[in-house]
Amino acid sequence: MKRITITILVAAMALGQFAVAQDKTKGKEKIYTPEQIEMLKAQKAAVKENREEFKSSLTDEQLAIMENKELSKRERREALRASFTDAQKAMMEANRSEIKALKDAFRATVTDEQKQLMKERRGKIKKRMENRNEQLKERRENIKERRKKKRG
């Protein structure tokens, strides 16, 4: 009798795990059409290509500014922007407008249902990040408390 009960219990647990796994795969449904995926890939490739092209146009002085660890990120960015040539500024503007056009073309293909799914996905991601941040905060506090106990 015990063996039958244990067997049924194990089978029920296995079936429950299978059902949970099925639910998780449903949540990862493809939101985009194959054409939209290709548009996103093209957009990503254009960004990467533009970045590489721009980086190759930087002078040694500009690279030195980027690598200067004595400046904060903001100070480096401001110093770098101040050193841009007109050609580099034009290249950046052209890159921005190209990416904006690609994004606008993509947005024009998105349906209301896709917008809703994307919004829900962003909400889930945001919630997950908030939970992770909370956990990190708690861990840091626990570490601080342990250090205080060791010192005191």
Q: For the ranges 17-21, 24-28, 32-36, which has the lowest average pLDDT?
A: 24-28
Q: For the ranges 14-28, 51-65, 138-152, which has the lowest average pLDDT?
A: 14-28
| Residue 108 pLDDT class (50, 70, 90 cuts) | very high
Dihedral sign for Cα 5, 8, 11, 13, please: negative
Please enumerate in sequence order all residues whose Cβ is within 8 A of that of 42, keeping only pairs 6 or more positions apart, or say none.
102
pLDDT at 44 > cutoff 70 = yes
Q: Are 43 and 106 in contact, with CB atoms under 8 Å apart?
A: yes
Would you state the structure tokens that stand for residue 11, as one six-digit string? Answer: 């089978």
All structural domains of the chain with their residue ranges: 31-110, 111-152
Q: How far apart are CA 116 and CA 55, in angstroms?
A: 37
Summarize pLDDT for 64-74 with one digit per residue, the tens. Answer: 999 999 999 99
pTM for the predicted model, two decimal places: 0.61
